[in-house]
Amino acid sequence: MAFPLLTCLLLFAAPAAAQSSPVGLGPRLLVVNQGDKTLSIVDPVTNKQVGVVDEAQTTMHGHEIAVGPDGRSVFMPIYGDVGVGSPGLDGNEMIVIDWPTGKITGHIDFGHGVRPHCAVFSKATGMMYVTTEIDNSVTMVDPKSLKIVGSVPTGQAQSHMLAITRNGRWAYTANVGPGTVSVLDMKERKTVNVIPISKMTQRIALSPDDKYVFTSDQTSQRLAVIETKTNTIKKWITLPGNGYGGAATPNGKWLLLPIPSKGLVSVIDLKTLDIVKNVTVEKNPQELLVRPDGKFAYVSSPSTKKVCVIDLSQWVMSATIDVGNGADGLAWAN
């Protein structure tokens, strides 16, 4: 069920000092606020919110975002009005926002309710990929023409999150309810393997060398390490609590994994595949993004309306950023 797009407003919520710097001057951290149905634009120098974009949705909302090849177009799938696996409205579109101006510049209509969720842009293929849960698939979108150009079946329900290798050939989806990971051949557009993990799994991440895929068991305090060469589980890493949305540092040394129930981010050595430290952050950390220069990481905290800033040279939370209600998906824009 789709709702008409309303007029999109750009509201400046920063203090006067921050307002002197236009929203359009990057780089910027972008934060999806599920509860408010908004997109926060954050200046990473001041760690202040400098703008808010209304998603223009009356009932449904987006969870995740991805920045397109032009560096200024933000692709936001409109998932629905509930969480994964729950009955409710099924979103059928992905909106495109020009973040410097706050205007909705386009939308992609999937034709029916598919609960589009995780969007990922591949530099290797030039395509935008988005999980379309109800169709058990990943849909391919040309980010320039905003046309749907194909789809790849996942062979599983609730294919919620997506990771794609650097060459764009292989993709992996975390299938929440089935508790599996699908391995997709994006060139041949087919599922080549389904890897059992547990009764329920969440989120997915790749190591920078594409050697490992990581996904968190939601029924036990452990992280599955999948070797991409064999598509088998190489190791289970014991966690201090159930893990969630992890990300690797650009130098390939560390995987950072939020532990929502403990208010921690666990730091995993990608060479030994062991936890080497834990960083205390705000409660209920959810999604994590590492800055391209590898100096800082950002983790959203939905229940506190904040994003935590982790200084990766000191391994401490160095700041918090006030954003919106239900802060969730993160992206970096230049």
pLDDT of residue 201: 97
Dihedral, CA of residue 129, residue 89, residue 51 and residue 45, to nearest 10 = -50
Does 3 reside within a domain? Answer: no
- What pTM value is reported for the model? 0.92
Does 110 reside within a domain? Answer: yes
Total domains present in the chain: 1
208-241 burial, b at 16+ Cβ within 10 Å, e below that, comes to: eebebbbbbbbeebbbbbbebeebebeeebebee
Does 314 reside within a domain? Answer: no
137-142 sheet: strands from edge to edge? 116-121, 128-132, 137-142, 147-153
Cβ-contact 22, 321 below 8 angstroms? no
Dist CA 163 CA 151 (whole Å): 15
Does 255 reside within a domain? Answer: no
pLDDT of residue 269: 98
pLDDT of residue 175: 98
Domain that holds residue 196: 10-248+323-333
Does 328 reside within a domain? Answer: yes
Does 288 reside within a domain? Answer: no
List the CATH number of the domain containing 182.
2.130.10.10
pLDDT of residue 86: 95
Does 108 reside within a domain? Answer: yes
User: What is the full per-residue pLDDT of the chain (334 aa) written as tens digits?
Assistant: 333 333 333 333 333 233 334 465 679 999 999 999 999 999 999 999 999 999 988 899 999 999 999 999 999 999 999 999 999 999 999 999 999 999 999 999 999 999 999 999 999 999 999 999 999 999 999 999 999 999 999 999 999 999 999 999 999 999 999 999 999 999 999 999 999 999 999 999 999 999 999 999 999 999 999 999 999 999 999 999 999 999 999 999 999 999 999 999 999 999 999 999 999 999 999 999 999 999 999 999 999 999 999 999 999 999 999 999 999 999 999 8
Does 284 reside within a domain? Answer: no
Q: HSE (CB half, 13 Å, CA atoms) of 280?
A: 0
In whole angstroms, how far apart are CA 256 and each of 45, 207, 306, 328?
22, 11, 18, 16
Closest by CA to 240, choosing from 211, 262, 212, 207, is 262
